[in-house]
Amino acid sequence: MDERKLRVGIIGTGGIAHSHMRAYAKRSDLEIVALCDVVPGKAKAFAEEFGLEQAACYESHEEMLDKEGLDAVSVCTYNAQHAAPTIYALNRGVHVLCEKPFSVTLEEAAEMMRAEKASGKILSIGFQPRFDRNMQKIKKIVESGELGQVYYIQTGGGRRRGIPCNNQKTSFIEKETAGVGALGDIGCYALDMVLNAIGYPTPLTVSGFVTDYFGKDPETYRYTGNDADFLAEKFSVDDFGGALIRLEGGVVVDFRIAWAMNINTPGDTILLGTKAGLRIPSTDCWNGTVGGEMTLYRHCAGSPIEAKIPLEKDKPEDGTLWDRKIGSFVDAVKLGLPSPIPSEQILKNQAIIDGVVRSAACGKEVEIVMPEI
């Protein structure tokens, strides 16, 4: 095993880079040697916040990757800037942990995967709920065969008012930076929850829709302390979306996701199987995790039975979800393991999001053609 400390960089030192940094800081087998943000002074301020006096700061990811001889980077840029730094890093032989969603379009995600394949390096996509014990339990239940053949899934979630724009931050709500809204931001989690459980079958068709009634209305932001007119003016993505998705193997997924809505929840996640059904309660404010005790429904000797599945508690020694997300990436880099959250899976997640956008634009069901990698 390589005992040299890994040289790690972070591209995009905004909100979520802090979570990456806190988890990296717990590891003694790496050093954060370089930081980059296109906003002048932002990488330097981040370095000062975390006491990273030795880290070199850049405004260009190309310059950083050309000069620093890095082993790995976290790409923590807004969605529309996931592809460029990821591809550049992989082309320089640097392993990449890229934040979710994969990207904005399917074609961009495919380009990222082509760079991954050509480089032989790891590309992992940042879905930390994958490391939650209760999320893992869903997959274990499906794999146990208890549900029989899963043929219908309802998934998604919502927030009554949860458009991410505190402190006038617009990177999630402007098309130029975010590319997609609720659909990509939290919809990707809902899709991953169920698609990962059933083994990520290939999506075939999507009939999708998106709306933006709340995002474009100043009233939505009126009592938040933010400049309501400014945010409504900037809003140029979806705040609600959904789709009927057909997957290979005859599975149908009914999906919906909202950053804002006038209801407490658009419904729990359910998996219907030929032997049993599973209900996964939604969280009140959707964050892509299991919202309470799951219930298994089946028939036994002619009688309906309901079994509660107790929530599993994290063990202190496991660390946070972020420790596990960063830790699994670092371990994979060091030990030459496969990508912890493989791009081949998340490409299908992105294909659905891309399909919803295309279908919403033309008002019809669209076919999904998975790109050649």
Binding site for ligand NAD (CB under 6 A): 11-17, 36-39, 42, 61, 76-79, 81, 84-85, 99-100, 126, 128, 171, 185
Nearer residue to ligand NAD within complex by CB, 77 or 339:
77
Nearer residue to ligand NAD within complex by CB, 61 or 279:
61
Q: Phi, psi (5° rounding) for residue 91?
A: -65, -25
Is 112 in contact with 141 (CB distance < 8 Å)?
Answer: no
The closest alpha carbon to 190, from 253, 126, 262, 272, belongs to: 253
In the three-class reduction of DSSP (H, G, I as helix; E, B as strand; rest coil), residue 40 is classed as: coil
Q: How far is the CB of 37 from ligand NAD (least distance, A)?
A: 4
The CA radius of gyration of the chain, in Å to the nearest whole number, is: 21
The closest alpha carbon to 63, from 92, 102, 83, belongs to: 92
Q: Which residues of 285-306 are buried (b: 16+ CB within 10 A; e: fewer)?
A: ebebbbbeebbbbbeeeeeeee
Q: How far is the CB of 200 from ligand NAD (least distance, A)?
A: 19
Rounded Cα gap, residues 170 and 236, in angstroms: 10
Rounded Cα gap, residues 97 and 108, in angstroms: 16
Amino acid found at 219: E
- The residue at minimum Cβ distance from ligand NAD is 14
Nearer residue to ligand NAD within complex by CB, 2 or 107:
107
Amino acid found at 76: C
Q: How far is the CB of 258 from ligand NAD (least distance, A)?
A: 16
Angle between helices 61-68 and 83-91 (to 10 degrees): 20
Q: How far is the CB of 190 from ligand NAD (least distance, A)?
A: 14
Q: Phi, psi (5° rounding) for residue 9?
A: -125, 160
Q: How far is the CB of 207 from ligand NAD (least distance, A)?
A: 25
Q: How far is the CB of 4 from ligand NAD (least distance, A)?
A: 26
Q: How far is the CB of 267 from ligand NAD (least distance, A)?
A: 23
Q: How far is the CB of 361 from ligand NAD (least distance, A)?
A: 22
Pairing verdict, β 276-280 and 269-273: antiparallel
Nearer residue to ligand NAD within complex by CB, 147 or 290:
290
Nearer residue to ligand NAD within complex by CB, 184 or 277:
184
Nearer residue to ligand NAD within complex by CB, 37 or 108:
37
In which residue are the tokens 């809003």 written? Answer: 235
Nearer residue to ligand NAD within complex by CB, 132 or 268:
132
Q: How far is the CB of 21 from ligand NAD (least distance, A)?
A: 11
Nearer residue to ligand NAD within complex by CB, 11 or 271:
11
Residues 371, 93, 65, 2: is their CA dihedral positive or negative? positive
Nearer residue to ligand NAD within complex by CB, 169 or 298:
169
Residues 279, 283, 287, 293: is their CA dihedral positive or negative? negative
Kindly report the number of other CB atoms within 10 A of residue 229's CB atom: 11
Cα–Cα distances (Å) from 106 to 183, 248, 343, in that order, read 14, 18, 12
